[in-house]
A and B are shown apart, each in its own frame.
Chain A
Amino acid sequence: MESLSGRSKQVVNKELTFKERIYLPAILGGMWITLKHFFMKKTTIKYPEVKREFAESYRGLHVLKKDENGAERCTACGLCALTCPAEAITMTAAERKNGEEGLFREEKYAAVYEINMLRCIFCGLCEEACPKEAIFLTNEELTPANYDRGDFIYGKDKLVEPQHHPIGKIRGGGPLNQRNYHPYGKGLVTLS
């Protein structure tokens, strides 16, 4: 029968040569490659004793920033949750009471702010969407392993930074408005 691809080959039952029949040269060749690798530089590291350095643009665990007065920057506007492709973020807003001005920067704040780290894909869109420069993905921490699924839902206790830390220290280097990217292009934004 004519082959469909036109690339079929006739199998030839050729007899092996003496060199091929004793197998030794092929085995020695393989051993030589193995031996060579004993003396080569290893590509693996002994995690967790040794840890790799994070790239500057690495997107790790989230942090909710405070401003220079120690007040939380997040106003629970919901843009991070809206933009989140994995729908990992939920929040509940509350109104700031008198006397809480030192705790929360704006009239409204997030009473509950939760990120489900099992859903999160660490894409960094929440960071891009945030109008208050409140949420950032650090380049120094990963989500630690855990035995309980519930422990992967990170609340404000784990996300809010303990004290103010300048934004410049977070990945990307420098405040958002000085970074060199234009998510919507440089010109006017039109709806249609």
Chain B
Amino acid sequence: MDLLKVTIDGIEIEVPAGTTILEAARKIGKNVPPAMCYYSKLEGSGGKCRTCIVKVSQGSTKDPRPMPKPVASCRTQVMDGMVVLNETSPEIMEARASVVEFLLINHPLDCPICDQAGECHLQDLGYAHGKQKTRYEFKRRTFDKIDIGPYVQLHMTRCILCYRCVFTCDQITNDRVHGVLNRGDSAEISTYIEKSIENDFSGNVIDVCPVGALTDKTFRFKNRVWFTKPVNAHRNCTTDKCSGKVQLWYKGNEVIRVTARKDQWGEVEEFICNTCRFEKKETTDWVIEGPAKVDNKSVIGQNHYELSYDKPVVPPKISLFADHPSFKDDSKFIN
């Protein structure tokens, strides 16, 4: 397999052909472009939110011309000798701040109410790149509230149309009942005719949603995530394809929420079924493995003293593709 050499923010790495810039950056583990719509576990995701834009200052060794515009790193594949600028380019940081501003045009600023606050990717992004004040003076778009079942709460106003949930339902579950309706400004996630989402893996849309548009109804307003304590646990789940490996969120001795485990990019490690997620909320249902690791920048980590995620350390010029355990699952999407 041919390895292509790519330089991202001055760090060289060799990756196989077909790897995207974003995946190469994740392999380096430093200066990784943020991604709101791209999800490595979902085929076809990415290319919609534009937060992962990077500057390509040299296209390849054969054609060293720079790319004329910032490119979406989740969809742009690397070329041999490509030089990419991400956080070292002031132009990109400015452009990303603008993208965040655009994403926040219609997003309500109701973080104090939203259950996603504290683990919301848009909140992190806004905090890292956004401006403190909004320049938007018009009415934000609103939608009629629809009920999509007993488990999942849909807040359409918070949706940033990343399509992750649509891909999840398409690829993880066998029966997709929801999608994106209408166009442009009126585009919305819906089940078309108020049909509830009912299949074994539908709860995963909660985990893939980068914002608080899809939240757990059984956890609604129960507590703020940073007052709960994440604990890794597993059970022998009889549902096909469900790993049974989850994260329990404790408040005192009570399990108030069950989610799939997430990796350092905020992506689900293994999808779990609705039985695990919504029905098993007793400690006796689970085998406890120990406290979950929390990113030390996360508000959830307050008063937790466990070590943060071990970042993959890649020595320069040596490819660790498919060597590092955290990338094992990605291989099928890269080739």
What is the distance, in angstroms, from B205's C-beta to the closest C-beta of chain A?
21
Tell me which of A33-41, A57-65, A78-86 binds B: A78-86
Q: Which residue of A lies closest to B299 (CB)?
A: A82
A81–B227 touching, CB < 8 Å: yes
Give the docked Cα–Cα distance between A132 and B110 (Å).
10
Contact with B along A165-192 (1 / 0, CB 8 A): 0000000000000000000000011111
**A131 and B112 in contact, given A78-B227, A82-B226 (Cβ under 8 angstroms):** yes
Q: How many contacts A-B (CB < 8 Å)?
A: 47
A191–B113 touching, CB < 8 Å: no
Whether a CB of chain B sits under 8 angstroms from the CB of A68 is no
B221–A191 touching, CB < 8 Å: no
Whether a CB of chain B sits under 8 angstroms from the CB of A153 is no
Q: Which residue of A lies closest to B131 (CB)?
A: A188
Whether a CB of chain A sits under 8 angstroms from the CB of B132 is yes
B113–A106 touching, CB < 8 Å: yes
8 A Cβ contacts from B196-221 to A: 220-221
**A95 and B221 in contact, given A82-B299, A190-B128 (Cβ under 8 angstroms):** yes
Residues of A within 8 A of B226 (CB): 78, 82
B224–A82 touching, CB < 8 Å: yes
Whether a CB of chain A sits under 8 angstroms from the CB of B117 is yes
B227–A191 touching, CB < 8 Å: no
- Secondary structure call for the A interface: loop
Residues of B within 8 A of A106 (CB): 110, 112-113
A94–B221 touching, CB < 8 Å: yes
- Secondary structure call for the B interface: loop
**A77 and B112 in contact, given A94-B221, A189-B127, A191-B128 (Cβ under 8 angstroms):** yes
Whether a CB of chain B sits under 8 angstroms from the CB of A93 is yes
Q: Which residue of B lies closest to A92 (CB)?
A: B223
Set A94, A108, A188, A191: member contacting B124, Cβ < 8 A: A191
A77–B220 touching, CB < 8 Å: no
What is the distance, in angstroms, from B42's C-beta to the closest C-beta of chain A?
26
Interface size on A, residues (CB 8 A): 20
Whether a CB of chain A sits under 8 angstroms from the CB of B171 is no
**A132 and B127 in contact, given A81-B227, A95-B220, A191-B297 (Cβ under 8 angstroms):** no
B221–A108 touching, CB < 8 Å: yes
What is the distance, in angstroms, from A85's C-beta to the closest C-beta of chain B?
12
B221–A93 touching, CB < 8 Å: yes
A75–B297 touching, CB < 8 Å: no
8 A Cβ contacts from B122-147 to A: 124, 127-128, 131-132
**A107 and B302 in contact, given A95-B221, A189-B132, A191-B128 (Cβ under 8 angstroms):** no
Give the docked Cα–Cα distance between A188 and B222 (Å).
33
Residues of B within 8 A of A132 (CB): 112
Set A75, A81, A94, A190: member contacting B112, Cβ < 8 A: A75
Q: Which residue of A lies closest to B155 (CB)?
A: A107
**A77 and B111 in contact, given A108-B221, A189-B127 (Cβ under 8 angstroms):** yes
What is the distance, in angstroms, from B323's C-beta to the closest C-beta of chain A?
27
Give the docked Cα–Cα distance between A81 and B222 (Å).
15
What is the distance, in angstroms, from A26's C-beta to the closest C-beta of chain B?
61
Residues of A within 8 A of B299 (CB): 82
What is the distance, in angstroms, from B308's C-beta to the closest C-beta of chain A?
13
Contact with B along A95-138 (1 / 0, CB 8 A): 10000000000111000000000000000000000011000000
Contact with A along B275-300 (1 / 0, CB 8 A): 00000000000000000000001010
Set B113, B132, B297, B302: member contacting A108, Cβ < 8 A: B113
Give the docked Cα–Cα distance between A8 and B9 (Å).
67
Residues of B within 8 A of A81 (CB): 227
What is the distance, in angstroms, from A101's C-beta to the closest C-beta of chain B?
14
B112–A191 touching, CB < 8 Å: no
Residues of A within 8 A of B127 (CB): 189, 191
Give the docked Cα–Cα distance between A81 and B226 (Å).
10
**A107 and B128 in contact, given A81-B227, A82-B224, A82-B302 (Cβ under 8 angstroms):** no
What is the distance, in angstroms, from A58's C-beta to the closest C-beta of chain B?
27
What is the distance, in angstroms, from B150's C-beta to the closest C-beta of chain A?
15
* Chain B interfacial positions (CB closer than 8 Å to A): 110-113, 117, 124, 127-128, 131-132, 220-224, 226-227, 297, 299, 302
- In addition to A77-B111, A79-B112, 9 A-B residue pairs with Cβ atoms within 8 Å of each other are A77-B112, A78-B224, A78-B226, A78-B227, A93-B222, A95-B220, A106-B113, A131-B111, A132-B112
Provide 16 A-B residue pairs closer than 8 Å at the C-beta atoms, listed in order of the A residue.
Answer: A75-B112, A75-B113, A76-B221, A77-B112, A78-B226, A82-B226, A82-B299, A93-B221, A94-B221, A95-B221, A106-B112, A108-B112, A132-B112, A189-B128, A191-B124, A191-B297
List the 5 shortest-distance A-B pairs measured between CB atoms, nearest first.
A77-B112, A78-B224, A93-B221, A191-B128, A108-B113
